[in-house]
Amino acid sequence: MINKEVTTIKKAIDGVESGMTFMFGGFGLCGIPEKAIEALAKLNIFDLTCISNNAGVDNFGLGLLLKRKQIKKMISSYVGENAEFEKQMLSAELEVDLIPQGSLAERCRAGGAGIPAFFTPAGYGTEVATGKEIREYNGKPHILETALTADFAFVKAWKGDTAGNLIFKGTARNFNPLMAMAGKITVAEVEELFPAGELDPNQIHTAGIFVQRIFQGEKYEKRIEQRTVRIRE
Amino acid sequence: MALDKKQIAQRIAQELEHNTYINLGIGIPTLVANYIPKGIDIEFQSENGVLGMGSFPYEGEEDPDMINAGKQTITTVPGAVLFDSAISFAMIRGQHVHLTVLGAMEVSENGDIANWKIPGKMVKGMGGAMDLVASAENIIVAMMHTNRAGESKILKKCTLPITGVKCINKVVTNLAVLAVVDKGFRLLERAPGVSITEIIEATEAKLIIDGEVPEMQL
């Protein structure tokens, strides 16, 4: 067994530098690597390119890095719910590359799977297709999208083991398994870390081969963005 | 009387077919889930990674790890399944999802839809909408017929940056049900008490009207 456990957050994020490209798992605030983001927001690293489906909210998630103007460029599919983001984007302080969500997911997956590019119908005929090669398959036009990789991928899982294997919970899975594959160094934070051998291999979602460092985070806030409930009758 | 948003959802629910998988967008489309006709078995897919989405949880039972694509807390129904975003869009791109219902800022008579960007004003991103409209076999749009200034949102050509080309099949608005056909929008139904003249006045696109146009049955 190759032991991936790191005992401190400091060791988990060792080697991060200004100008690097980072991936962050999560959808909205669901399944984001809270602990890694908190730690990165305390460092003096800037000019970051961040690949994440969303950009957090003003005072939580990637909003923390935005507030300190650590991010130079965001690659996302949806960036509503963040006033600071909108301000920096409209004033051109922040460069933003908006891409269709399915293409974003597949570009991360491709990056981790050794596929440099692929054709997809999503975005044909729109701004997204500008400058991209177009080819017709089965009578339908498709655009060429390239793979994404990152210097560091930060992901969050529910359970993990010291071999780096991960199990996700609910819809907190989202982009995490894909980004885990696409990071040169993938840092996984988990709510519960087990010794290797204690998780059932049949139940593992992400194989430890994709994870370089793993640590157990404490006291997850798991903020809910839109609390919707039904009335008891 | 023009329909309210709930009634638009109610009318769209009549389009749901037995044994199908359906993706509902944010806004009016989400409300469609409240009006599933009796005897119809369907499953809702939410592109953040769940098939078999249920209703909102009871207060106190919200789970931050269980949300829909609108980031709202949800529950699942028996038989539900969870997956990652790449698998989710494989379901969508691979046309395993049968029907997509989504909102729009503008639609045009050749089947284009615009719903992700107002240059210089609002740029939130397309989320999953571009993947959905590029691949779905059947797309129903839920929208208001005109904007707050009373200008038509049913156009000859979209003025906003588009989300997809020649992709939508049907539009249900507060005034009418329209089908996208070869040479324009065919007026299928009108809202109860709304005249054909009112619909023509609120529509910039070419309208095709054949004979009697029935009122919607809600």
Q: How far is CA B173 from CA A156, A174, B106, B216, in A?
A: 41, 33, 12, 11
Q: Which residues in chain A (82-101) have CB-CB distances under 8 A to chain B?
A: 86, 89-90, 96, 98, 100-101
What per-residue confidence (pLDDT) applies to A232?
Answer: 85
In the predicted structure, residue A83 carries a pLDDT above the cut 90: no
In the predicted structure, residue B34 carries a pLDDT above the cut 80: yes
Q: Is residue A171 domain-resident? A: yes
pLDDT digits (tens, 9 = 90+) for B90-124: 999 999 999 999 999 999 999 999 999 998 877 78
Contact B64 A222 (CB under 8 A): yes
In the predicted structure, residue B1 carries a pLDDT above the cut 90: no
Contacts of residue B92 in chain A, CB cutoff 8 Å?
102
Characterize A145-156 residue by residue with b for buried, 16 or more Cβ atoms within 10 angstroms of its Cβ, and e for exposed: bebbbbbbbbbb
Give the pLDDT mean for B4-20: 97
pLDDT digits (tens, 9 = 90+) for A112-149: 999 999 999 999 999 999 999 999 999 999 999 999 99
CA torsion sign for B172, B173, B174, B178 is negative
Assess A125–B contact: CB distance below 8 Å, yes or no.
yes
Residue entry with tokens 């993706």: B23
Residue of B67, B93, B112 with shortest CB distance to A28: B67
In the predicted structure, residue B183 carries a pLDDT above the cut 90: no
In the predicted structure, residue A43 carries a pLDDT above the cut 90: yes
Assess A39–B contact: CB distance below 8 Å, yes or no.
no
pLDDT digits (tens, 9 = 90+) for A162-187: 999 999 999 999 999 999 999 999 99
Which of B48-62, B108-122, B158-172 is the least confident region? Answer: B108-122
What per-residue confidence (pLDDT) applies to B126?
Answer: 95
Assess B131–A contact: CB distance below 8 Å, yes or no.
yes
State the pLDDT confidence band at A82, using cuts at 50, 70 and 90: confident
What per-residue confidence (pLDDT) applies to A77?
Answer: 97
Give the pLDDT mean for A186-208: 98
What per-residue confidence (pLDDT) applies to B108?
Answer: 98
| Test the B interface: residue of A52, A76, A91, A101 with most B CBs within 10 Å | A101
Q: Is residue A177 domain-resident? A: yes
What per-residue confidence (pLDDT) applies to A1?
Answer: 87
Q: Is residue A93 domain-resident? A: yes
Residues B29/B9, Cβ–Cβ less than 8 Å:
yes
- Furthest-apart CA atoms within chain B: distance in Å: 54
Domain region containing A35: 9-103+149-216
What per-residue confidence (pLDDT) applies to A51?
Answer: 98
Contacts of residue B162 in chain A, CB cutoff 8 Å?
125-126
Using CA atoms, how far apart are residues A59 and A200, in angstroms rounded to an integer? 37
Please identify every residue of B annotated as catalytic.
Answer: 47
Residues B9/B216, Cβ–Cβ less than 8 Å:
no
Q: Is residue A131 domain-resident? A: no
CATH assignment of the domain containing A79: 3.40.1080.10
Q: Is residue A32 domain-resident? A: yes
Contacts of residue A76 in chain B, CB cutoff 8 Å?
125
Q: How far is CA B109 from CA A33, A184, B101, B183, in A?
A: 44, 47, 18, 7
Using CA atoms, how far apart are residues B49 and B164, in angstroms rounded to an integer? 23
φ, ψ at A24 (rounded to 5°): -130, 120
Alpha-carbon torsion, ordered A143, A74, B92, A144, to 10 deg: 10
| Mean predicted lDDT score pLDDT of chain B | 96
Contact B49 A173 (CB under 8 A): yes
What per-residue confidence (pLDDT) applies to A113?
Answer: 98
What per-residue confidence (pLDDT) applies to A233?
Answer: 76
Using CA atoms, how far apart are residues B112 and A115, in angstroms rounded to an integer? 31
DSSP letter, residue A8: S
What per-residue confidence (pLDDT) applies to A7?
Answer: 95
| Total domains, chain A | 1
What are chain B's domains?
5-208 (3.40.1080.10)
Q: Is residue A225 domain-resident? A: no
ipTM of the complex: 0.97
Assess B70–A contact: CB distance below 8 Å, yes or no.
yes
3-state SS class at A168? coil
Q: Is residue A134 domain-resident? A: no
What per-residue confidence (pLDDT) applies to A80?
Answer: 79
In the predicted structure, residue B47 carries a pLDDT above the cut 90: yes
Contacts of residue A126 in chain B, CB cutoff 8 Å?
130, 161-165
Alpha-carbon torsion, ordered A61, A67, A69, A74, to 10 deg: 40
Assess B55–A contact: CB distance below 8 Å, yes or no.
yes
Q: Is residue A2 domain-resident? A: no
Residues B142/B9, Cβ–Cβ less than 8 Å:
yes
What per-residue confidence (pLDDT) applies to B139?
Answer: 97
Give the pLDDT mean for B187-192: 98
Nearest chain B Cα to A221, which residue?
Answer: B64
Q: Which amino acid is at A47?
A: D
Q: Which amino acid is at A187?
A: V
Contacts of residue B64 in chain A, CB cutoff 8 Å?
29-30, 222-224
